Amino acid sequence: MLDKNKIGHEFPSFTAEIEKGRLRFFAKAIGETNPIYTDEGAAQAAGYRTIPAPPTFMFSVDLEGPELLPVLKLLELDLGRVLHGSQTFEYLGQVYAGDRITQQSKIADIFDKKGGALEFVVQKSTYTNQNGELVGTAQQTLVYRN
């Protein structure tokens, strides 16, 4: 069983730069053709400060930390048994190319179902830009198959 004493654990905060080229690559990889996601002029004409990060890109910010998926080490998880159960984003502002986004994340809950055959780890994250504005939050649930 996973260590429920880790509920409330806060991971080290880190800051990631949102690179314009990376956003263009991401747009290409998901087949996005709306020019606001690749062209600054089109983004500005649509009312954005510059190229916005698409709605799910905050998950990619999570992966920019000093350690890939630090939850694996904290809870001694075997990556091959981890499934992504659910994902939620809330938008309080916009993430843009050139921003420096600080991510803070913690373990919000750990629980099990089916007599411990499946365990669930809920992680909550916040995203704050270089101006100190909270631009979004995320919650993800990982499912661990025992």
Binding stretches for another protein (CB under 8 A): 22, 25-26, 28-32, 34, 46-48, 52, 54-56, 59-60, 63-64, 68, 79-80, 83-91, 94, 139
> What does DSSP say about strands 14-17 and 82-91: parallel, antiparallel, or unpaired?
unpaired
Q: Which of 47, 51, 20, 53 has the alpha carbon at shortest distance from 127?
A: 53
CB of 126 to another protein, least distance (A): 15
- Least distance (Å) from another protein to the CB of residue 46? 7
CA distance 7 to 108: 6
Choose between 14 and 89: whose C-beta lies nearer to another protein. Answer: 89
Rounded distance, CA 22 to CA 14, Å?
A: 18
- Smallest separation (angstroms) from another protein to the CB of 5: 27
